[in-house]
Amino acid sequence: MNELEYPLDKIIDVAIELKTYGSTAASTSEQIAAAFVLNEQKYLPESYPVMIEAWERLNKWQTHVRLIRDNYMHLINQG
């Protein structure tokens, strides 16, 4: 779908899955990152109902979320 490297490509793919189907089989970190990319708390895994705990779980992936939100939302919103 896109030419980005992991984990950016995976987070974008998971965000599209969540937006399209409402669920995903992705890893916990991938799902949390995608939920923050989409700015939708409803997509956080049930084991992370507190947003700050989910955000802290991402550690270095927080940068990936910001990068996608700033530069690659068109890949999620197209179509």
Give the tens place of pLDDT for each residue, 19-60: 999 999 999 999 999 999 999 999 999 999 999 999 999 999
Number of domains in the chain: 1
Residue 1 lies in a domain: no
Domain that holds residue 64: 8-77
Residue 3 lies in a domain: no
Mean of pLDDT values over 9-22: 97
Residue 62 lies in a domain: yes
- With beta carbons less than 8 A apart as the criterion, state whether 33 and 11 touch: yes
Residue 2 lies in a domain: no
Residue 58 lies in a domain: yes
Count the neighbouring beta carbons within 10 Å of the beta carbon of residue 78.
Answer: 8
Residue 14 lies in a domain: yes
Residue 61 lies in a domain: yes
